[in-house]
Amino acid sequence: MSFRFQDWKVYQDAREIRREIKQEVLPRIEKTDKYELGAQLKRALDSIILNIAEGAYRQTDKDFAHFLNQAHTSLNEVVACLDLCYDDGYITDEELKSFTDKSENLARQLSSFAQSLRKA
């Protein structure tokens, strides 16, 4: 059995951002921040994907849109964590811009998807 959400670009893009940040940012976070900032960043990244998947099989489009909104708020949290990583010297200007651009693209996808469900 295939799960429909696995075919959605928004889901695939969320997985890609998660993979990149886990590989490129989390290993750089110092031990003193690993269990606060690092763990929070990882939870927020996971939450985006899990909310998309959980909402995919809700009974109503309105309920599904709520889960997409939750994914969007988790994405906002990821961006804030990346700002903190930048402030603490864990990522460069270029990396922050790259991740922010990818996050903005994902935010547009989540918003558009939720908006289309609310209209349906």
CATH code of 61's domain = 1.20.1440.60
* Boundaries of domain holding 60: 4-119
pTM equals: 0.94
Count how many domains the chain has: 1
How many angstroms separate the CA atoms of 1 and 19, rounded? 25
Average pLDDT along the chain: 95
How many angstroms separate the CA atoms of 84 and 14, rounded? 20
Burial of 54: CB neighbours in 10 Å, binned 0-12, 13-18, 19+: middle
Higher pLDDT: 68 or 33? It is: 68
pLDDT score, position 32: 85
Instruction: Give the start-end residues of each E strand in 15-120.
Output: none
* Nearest residue to 56 (alpha-carbon basis) of 8, 104, 18, 109: 8
